[in-house]
Amino acid sequence: MSKHWSISDLLAGKVDADTTVTVKGWVRTRKDSKAGFSFINLHDGSCFDPIQIIAPAELDNYNSEILQATTGASMAVEGKLVASQGKGQSFEVQATAIEVLGLVDDPASYPIQPKPHTMEFLRTVAHLRPRTNAIGAVTRVQNCLAQAIHRFMHERQFYWIHTPLITASDCEGAGEMFRVSTLDQTHMPMTDKGEVDYSQDFFGKEAFLTVSGQLNVETYVSAMSKVYTFGPTFRAENSNTSRHLAEFWMVEPEIAFADLAQNADLAEDMLKYIFKAVLDERGDDLAFFNQRIDKTVIERLEGVVNSEFERMDYTEAVKILQNSGKKFEFPVEWGTDLQSEHERYLAEEKVGKPIVLMNYPKDIKAFYMRMNDDGKTVAAMDVLAPGIGEIIGGSQREERLDILDSRIDEMGLPKENYWWYRDLRRYGTVPHSGFGLGFERAVLYATGMKNIRDVIPFPRAAGTAEF
Amino acid sequence: MSKHWSISDLLAGKVDADTTVTVKGWVRTRKDSKAGFSFINLHDGSCFDPIQIIAPAELDNYNSEILQATTGASMAVEGKLVASQGKGQSFEVQATAIEVLGLVDDPASYPIQPKPHTMEFLRTVAHLRPRTNAIGAVTRVQNCLAQAIHRFMHERQFYWIHTPLITASDCEGAGEMFRVSTLDQTHMPMTDKGEVDYSQDFFGKEAFLTVSGQLNVETYVSAMSKVYTFGPTFRAENSNTSRHLAEFWMVEPEIAFADLAQNADLAEDMLKYIFKAVLDERGDDLAFFNQRIDKTVIERLEGVVNSEFERMDYTEAVKILQNSGKKFEFPVEWGTDLQSEHERYLAEEKVGKPIVLMNYPKDIKAFYMRMNDDGKTVAAMDVLAPGIGEIIGGSQREERLDILDSRIDEMGLPKENYWWYRDLRRYGTVPHSGFGLGFERAVLYATGMKNIRDVIPFPRAAGTAEF
């Protein structure tokens, strides 16, 4: 056969008209004309659009095979690339040979019919849903964002660090964790005290799945200056919402010699860079999302890319909220965490663009965040974006050992667990900062999809670990 | 202060001599001259070499602070960039101001002294070891390889798919897996039959950490044509070797419409691409590895990049080994797996370059590998490289439902667990192939390091989950 081209290359005009080409993919639709040929829309995942194939009835296997190729069937097509007569299609292929590779068993029951499906239904056939317009487009945007994150970091001389997922030190002290074990669950080894004897477990001690790579990656920033993690993290929270997963991916940059203001700049630069990549590279998919899923998605991405993010102190935000005259479900008081309704009011109604909210009350933030001179707030930040609320959370880290120690004590954490984290403050400590971006939330933002379970291939949540 | 530059930019000549610059980093060594100044080697992780700082005794804080800054202390230096008089150094900085950011507690006991340390010792201070020449260089090479993998895949229009790590379907049937659970280990819920009642666990059923993303990613290749995974995988094997980890990263490309030969081409292209990136971009680190760790590492990488990989059938390899006249510890017989000694003989002594060994006996390979027409072998491949042996394993996948089913039956696997995997063969099945590259093994190969625990930040193995 002639050279096998991706449909994206053909539709983008990378091949001259009248060239003989081969394309391979799956049938989206087939329409048979009485004039003696069939129109086949063939898709290969390389871009949003399928390419149209004209299959003449003169082909040897037209009746025996091609007319059996229903939606979802796979084929290899050789033919001449010609400028399309139809609307919205740049090129089509006049087939000279079609090999049907795989038919569809019982076409009437094939789950992915050429009609709209609910997202709920598609989750039950997650192994087939990438064949739909929506999930195919999510996959390309998701990939575009992920590649852009690595490119952004690499251009700025950050190193990608593979921090461990299995951890024996519950250093975050945050939330519920999944236990990792190889003990025989029906015959647990017990100590004399009636406790499980984890010294007999695989790692010789209790082990869990990590909730964040931050503490580990701080060891690397204290030698390499600019580092990041990009990998899975886990939360065993029994919350069945459209925004939470038990397993999700996080991007966590960490930068030495940087204060909170530089941290905020990095977060702003990164968000602009990755959303600009989607606007530049995935116009086809964005057009679909904007038309079918969320009519504001392109405008919203352009808003992020073209705006200068507002900086605002938590204390100022509380005043604005209290004086807003708005009725909120949750009252606003200095010292309490802001709720989604408050965050969205600030980003959407008050300033109409992303805000970096900074310097939160210490009592609602983690022990490792740097104490400000006022003794009441810490150098924490959240980036709030119109249409979604919090998309990034970060802080300058406490680099002063004495203050870190008193924070650990204050929160009743076991200091001995933090010996290595404390060592970083004993040996050439430096100011440093970092933040975390929940990757799937960025995909939600860039696509307008409503449920986080539809922007990760096989979602894991309470009661859900299918496929 | 003036602009903060990375040391790599300064040593690479990106800034003109006589410019006032700021550099920030950690002291490697400090030597005090009686002539009234100190030489400080300052490192920031951005490249292998430190930059030399000349600190004159006239600085205000020379006696009070600078002379206290021992190995490991952190500082910010402002000064004039000048061409260096010394050997092997392109530029140095004549300091006009030095701010000491963090001293070293009890310098005599600081673990990272400016002298050689054993790798075994450094594992006990894994939080500080990136400050050493060896682990710093590993980190940069590791990052270079990881970035190159994403770049290679992106240039070839592959999509990165985040396959799940937590899995409820032990589809691989391979090796021991880690259990993931939130059940109270001291009060396990039991069924009437005396078994653990996993319906009460977080996911409503037994869940494990995945050993491979392959089966999951095959669902995406059946819609997107070219995909890959790059993430952590897990093996609960109690093997305490220098080549095995309980948690490690794998790269698993999967390509539709591709047979074993095209799969082998992709593997060859990828290895050449990523090792060429290391040769092109990390000459400084490679020079160190070649001098201190393994005198053949550069030659070996160039060998991979510049050679055409040999293709050889398993059956032919067995004949060669049997006729080699070599005494092997393990006998060679058709139908048995090759041992490391055999693989290395073939790659190192017989052909002297990488080999793609293909078409293995079906009984020593997984159920999903495509049956060859001979009925005895499957379309499996291993890439063997001189100096390490097997570095990649892959196969063409069985796309024919009837043959897949008979293989599942033959191996006594529960067919109902594979319903979604089988669906891919029922609905528009296509020939497809893929392989797995153990990422840390590639880092071993590119650095000459001997133990896999030294090429991942915080290694997890039996009895080992520190930090």
In which band, very low, low, confident or very high, does the pLDDT at A319 lie, cut at 50, 70 and 90?
very high
| pLDDT tens-digit readout, A253-284 | 999 999 999 999 999 999 999 999 999 999 99
Q: Are the beta carbons of B222 and A131 separated by less than 8 Å?
A: yes
| B152 to chain A, closest Cα gap in Å | 11
Judge whether B32 and B13 are in contact, CB under 8 Å.
no
Of residues B366, B396, B374, the one with CA closest to residue B259: B396
A177: nearest CA partner in chain B: B182
Q: Which B positions 195-214 lie with beta carbon below 8 A of chain A?
A: 195-196, 202-205, 207, 209
| B357 to chain A, closest Cα gap in Å | 26
Judge whether B381 and B264 are in contact, CB under 8 Å.
yes
Judge whether A24 and A77 are in contact, CB under 8 Å.
yes
In chain A, the percentage of residues whose pLDDT exceeds 70 is 98
Residue in A73, A202, A399 closest to B428 by CB: A73
Residues from chain A that touch B404, judged by Cβ atoms under 8 A, are none
Classify domain B131-174+211-454 by CATH number: 3.30.930.10
Residues from chain B that touch A6, judged by Cβ atoms under 8 A, are 157, 225
Q: What average pLDDT does this structure show over A249-255? A: 98
Bridge partners for A93 per DSSP:
A53, A81
Residues from chain B that touch A73, judged by Cβ atoms under 8 A, are 428
Tell me how many residue pairs between chain A and chain B have CB atoms under 8 A apart. 311
Q: Are the beta carbons of A202 and B423 separated by less than 8 Å?
A: no
| pLDDT tens-digit readout, A41-65 | 999 999 999 999 999 999 999 999 9
pLDDT the model gives residue A159? 98
% helix, strand, coil for chain B, step of 5: 35, 25, 40
Q: Does domain B7-102 have CATH number 2.40.50.140?
A: yes
In which band, very low, low, confident or very high, does the pLDDT at A296 lie, cut at 50, 70 and 90?
very high
Asked if the C-beta of B431 comes within 8 angstroms of chain A's C-beta atoms, the answer is yes
Q: What average pLDDT does this structure show over B162-176? A: 78
Q: Are the beta carbons of A127 and B219 separated by less than 8 Å?
A: yes
A228: nearest CA partner in chain B: B143
In which band, very low, low, confident or very high, does the pLDDT at A88 lie, cut at 50, 70 and 90?
low
Q: Are the beta carbons of B429 and A127 separated by less than 8 Å?
A: no
Torsion region of B428: left, alpha or beta (phi above 0 gives left; psi -120 to 50 gives alpha): left
Q: Are the beta carbons of A219 and B130 separated by less than 8 Å?
A: yes
Bridge partners for A357 per DSSP:
A312, A382
Residue in B150, B220, B226 closest to A457 by CB: B220
Q: Are the beta carbons of B102 and A76 separated by less than 8 Å?
A: no
DSSP A203-235: TSS--EE-S-SHHHHHHHHHHHSEEEEEEEEE-
pLDDT the model gives residue B172? 56
Secondary structure class of A436 (helix, strand, coil)? strand
Query: Taking the model in full, what pTM does it have?
Result: 0.97
Residue B395 has pLDDT above 60, yes or no: yes
Asked if the C-beta of A30 comes within 8 angstroms of chain B's C-beta atoms, the answer is no
Residue A297 has pLDDT above 90, yes or no: yes
pLDDT the model gives residue A238? 87
| pLDDT tens-digit readout, B400-429 | 999 999 999 999 999 999 999 999 999 999
Q: What average pLDDT does this structure show over A156-183? A: 86
Residue B415, amino acid = K
Q: Are the beta carbons of B157 and A8 separated by less than 8 Å?
A: yes
Residues from chain B that touch A458, judged by Cβ atoms under 8 A, are 163-164, 216
Q: What average pLDDT does this structure show over A12-27? A: 97
| A293 to chain B, closest Cα gap in Å | 21
Residue B361, amino acid = P
Residue A170 has pLDDT above 80, yes or no: no
B418: nearest CA partner in chain A: A467
Q: Are the beta carbons of A428 and B104 separated by less than 8 Å?
A: yes
* Chain A interface test: which of B180, B205, B252, B421 (most A C-beta within 10 Å): B180
* pLDDT mean across residues, chain A: 95
| pLDDT tens-digit readout, B56-93 | 999 999 999 999 999 999 999 999 999 987 666 689 99
Q: Are the beta carbons of A182 and B236 separated by less than 8 Å?
A: yes
Of residues B252, B163, B242, the one with CA closest to residue B210: B163
| pLDDT tens-digit readout, B245-254 | 999 999 999 9
Secondary structure class of A356 (helix, strand, coil)? strand
Torsion region of A178: left, alpha or beta (phi above 0 gives left; psi -120 to 50 gives alpha): beta
| B156 to chain A, closest Cα gap in Å | 10
Q: What is the ipTM of this complex?
A: 0.97
Residue B143 has pLDDT above 80, yes or no: yes
Asked if the C-beta of B417 comes within 8 angstroms of chain A's C-beta atoms, the answer is no
Please report, for chain B, the start and end positions of each structural domain, with discontinuous segments joined by +: 7-102, 131-174+211-454
In which band, very low, low, confident or very high, does the pLDDT at A96 lie, cut at 50, 70 and 90?
very high
In which band, very low, low, confident or very high, does the pLDDT at B173 lie, cut at 50, 70 and 90?
low
Q: Are the beta carbons of B458 and A45 separated by less than 8 Å?
A: no
